[in-house]
Structure 1
Amino acid sequence: MTTKQNNFCVILAGGKGRRLWPCSRERYPKQFIDFFGVGRTQLQQTFDRFTHILPKENIFINTSYEYLDLVREQLPEVAADHIMAEPIHRNTAPSVAWAVHRIMMFIPKANVIISPSDQYIINDEVFFHNIKEGLSFVENNDAILTMGIAPTRSEPGYGYIQKGGYTGSEDIYKVQAFIEKPERDFAQMFMDSKEWYWNTGLFLSNTDYLCRCFGALFPSIICKEEFGSRITTVEEEENFIRDNFPRYSNMSLEHCLLEKSENVYVMRCDFGWADLGTWHGIYESLSKREGDNVIVDSDVVLEDAKNNIIKLSKGKLAVINGLDGYIVAEKDNVLLICKKEDSSALIRKYINEVQIKKGEDFV
């Protein structure tokens, strides 16, 4: 299944993955790990998925310079000029701003899919259909289109998008409001209202409109018309990025597009989705064993244990008795045993403490 040659994808693969510590480490974060033991890493699975929609040469990877070798090793089929390695960590909006300019160096007018590298998609065929319909919408409309999923639980770790007026096209609505990671009580209200969708982090648009959205926020490298005579090669562009990227605002794509752009829409999608960025999110998304435990590619003996998520290194055995509602995660020199509910804040705290007391080798 392929679509038109002017449709492109940017996979964002520069995150440090700290919320899945200690299995995801700063030197080897989650997108480069075969987390579930399926034979392909999260990045590779995301790339594989989009090759069913687009030609391989239309897929770009955005990452950090420190992960450039990992990307090259895991995706040797991606050309060097299709990998953008940032010289300094910034948030996702600057990453996409650069990627849009890079794509426009190949094709001035294109449609773009922006995708995280660590999502769990249940029904690929429905996903392909939704993406195809979304690309058609943004080709014919100056718009930002995000792919939304009806919430199945009151998850405080996700962003929520409120639908507004119906466009008359597919299942696409004007975005009324966006709330990032609400308190659990509010998340329950959003779920009960049937008006709010989970933000998947998948965005579609056309390059012309994205340029106008980014133009007021970042250096005008993304404005092809202005810099066309000065930046005409990938080498010139990378030199500009090396010198100017630290000046880019540290802004998320959600804050930049969902909160600041005017023509923002959401498509209600049914492909089944989970953000694989947190232990709690993984626990809620995967099928449970006896006692409602989730065992992630690990060797475990359980007794009187329930509601836990467990992830161990190969060759390790865990015997667990009496635990209820915990994360048990082990990698190399770190073992984490932590209450599962809303654990992200605790893990950030532990990482900071460990980094100060024990040094970089433990984070």
Structure 2
Amino acid sequence: MNKNYYAVLMAGGVGSRFWPISTSEYPKQFHDMLGTGDTLIQKTFQRLNRFIPTENILILTNERYNDLVLEQLPKVKQEQVVLEPAMRNTAPCILYAALKIQKMNPDGVMIVAPSDHWIENEAAFAKDVTTCFEKCSGEEVLCTLGIKPTFPNTGFGYIEFDKKSTKELKKVAQFREKPDYEVAKEFLSQGNFLWNAGIFMWSVKTIVNAFKNYQSEQYQLFESGMSCYNTNDERTFIQENYPKAENISIDYAILERSRSIFVLPATFDWNDLGTWGSLYDKLEKDNDNNAVVNGKVLVDNANGNMIRSPKGKVVVVDGLKDYIIIDKEEVLLICPKSKEQDIKKILSKVKDKFGDQYA
């Protein structure tokens, strides 16, 4: 394996659209959402570990999930877990991780990847990332993987690339916000738009320089701790200074400002597993198009449902079509799939009425 290859797994999110399984205490990346025997973060770690040395994989997460990370990823040492003492979006934690890697290896190239996505062809994923790594190693550019859209999705941001480019890696023209349906249809008809999967690659030198140029205050804040990184003094410095960082995404901080971004259209199947509906799409179905995780299910005149229950629990469903049915200990959710985007609102109402212990 190439010792200059590094990975940063983003594992600090809550995944509230997967409530009641995903909670603030035990988010979706730490669950076996697909019923495969591996949690999402375990699958992601294994995928990256195919071509990135174990010791070069960092896990970026919230302090409260430290023990979960170490429990689920036994190969990972404590020093590989990069803990955020405060929620400050993606830019500060990426800069923090990049500086840590730069101190270890100034020649490092890194991938920043969510810990909770579904990717089918892992060999194709490794090949695509390596292609970007090679580009980043030789040039001062930022790279991202774009997903070829299969329908006008309004839930993703889009990457517009140079239509005239005949090269494998396309120059990014601009990043576009989540569109409405009509705009999304227009994007697809133009043929030079990809879904933004939030998977980025760059050399540590290039991304640190980008922060220096476009986010000088953030850069100065985190660079001032360079002598502390990867030492016993790091925790104290981060506890004191991290909360001072601006709350800003990597997209707004760097990607929308840089003129040196390239996108590689991905050659693998991808799903962000962002909702129960997207999980339903990826699961095997029974003869009535019901997707079942864990439970022993008996259905009658019921089809198109997403059903999850504790392992071995008998679930009988009669007369429901296109519903989300999720049973978890003290919470049972029964909700039309068409209203899956309302689950965050439902969770908020539950918290207001019954307390935070259900969140």
C-alpha spacing 1:131/1:272, structure 2 compared with 1 (3 Å):
same
Whole-angstrom CA distance in 1 between matches of 2:11 and 2:229:
25
Stretches of structure 2 that go unaligned for 5 or more consecutive residues are none
Distance (whole Å) between structure 2 residues aligned to residue 342 and residue 134 of structure 1: 38
1:198 and 2:195 aligned? yes
* Structure 2 residue aligned with 1:126: 124
Which letter does structure 1 place at the counterpart of 2:316? V
Partner of 1:23: 21
What is the CA-CA distance between 1:238 and the residue it aligns to?
A: 2.3
Give the Cα separation in 2 of the matches to 1:166 and 1:266.
14
Provide, for residues 236-255 of structure 1, a one-character-per-residue CA deviation record: whole Å limited to 9, x for no partner.
23222111111212222233
* 2:318 corresponds to 1:355: no
**CA apart distance, 1:145:** 0.8
Distance 2:225 2:85 in 1: 21
Cα distance, 1:87–1:319 mapped onto 2, change above 3 Å: same
Contact 1:165–1:174 (Cα < 8 Å) also in 2: no
- Report matched runs for 1:12-51 at 5 Å: 12-51=10-49
Give the aligned partner of residue 293 of structure 2. Answer: 296
Q: Does structure 1 residue 260 correspond to structure 2 residue 283? A: no
Q: Write the deviation string for residues 177-215 of structure 1: whole angstroms up to 9, x where unpaired.
A: 222332233333323332211112110001111112223
Q: Relative to structure 1, is the Cα distance of residues 191 and 281 closer, same or farther in structure 2, using a 3 angstrom cutoff? A: farther
CA separation of 1:192 and 1:343: change in aligned 2, threshold 3 A:
farther
Q: How many residues align?
A: 356
How far residue 154 of structure 1 moved from its aligned partner, in angstroms, is 2.5
1:244 to 2:221 alignment = no
Distance 2:79 2:138 in 1: 28
Cα distance 1:46–1:232, how it changes in 2: closer, same or farther (>3 A)? closer
CA distance in 2, matches of 1:62, 1:26: 16
* Aligned-pair Cα RMSD in Å: 1.9
How far apart, in 2, do the equivalents of 1:149 and 1:342 lie?
25
Q: Deviations over 1:259-296 (max 9, x none)?
A: 23221221011111000121122223344433333223
CA contact (8 A) 2:142 2:262 kept: yes
User: What SS does structure 2 have at the residue aligned with 1:148?
Assistant: strand
8 Å CA contact retained: 1:11, 1:115 = yes
**8 Å contact from structure 1 (residues 62, 85) kept in 2:** yes
Q: Distance in 2 between matches of 1:337 and 1:156?
A: 24
Contact 1:7 1:54 in 2 (8 A): yes
Report SS of the residue matched to 2:144: strand
C-alpha separation in 2, matches of 1:245 and 1:232: 13
CA distance in structure 1 between the partners assigned to 2:139 and 2:164 by the alignment: 15
Q: For the Cα contact (< 8 Å) 1:161–1:197, is it kept in 2? A: yes
> Deviating runs (4+, > 6 A) in structure 1?
none
Give, in whole Å, the separation in 1 of the partners of 2:141 and 2:40.
Answer: 29
> Do structure 1's residue 234 and structure 2's residue 231 form an aligned pair?
yes
Match of 1:220 in 2: 220
Report the CA distance shift for 1:221/1:238 in structure 2 as closer, same or farther (over 3 A): farther
Q: Distance in 2 between matches of 1:186 and 1:301?
A: 42
Q: Secondary structure at the match of 1:155?
A: coil
Q: Do structure 1's residue 91 and structure 2's residue 89 form an aligned pair? A: yes
Distance 1:242 1:149, change over 3 A: same
Please report how far the alpha carbon of residue 166 of structure 1 lies from its aligned counterpart in structure 2 after TM superposition: 5.6
Identity of aligned residues (%): 35
* Contact 2:144-2:264 at 8 Å conserved across structures: yes
Q: 1:185 corresponds to which residue?
A: 182
- Given the superposition, is the C-alpha separation of residues 121 and 260 from structure 1 closer, same or farther in structure 2, using an over 3 Å criterion? same
- Matched with 1:207 is 204
- Structure 1: 5+ residue stretches without partners: none
SS at match of 2:338: coil
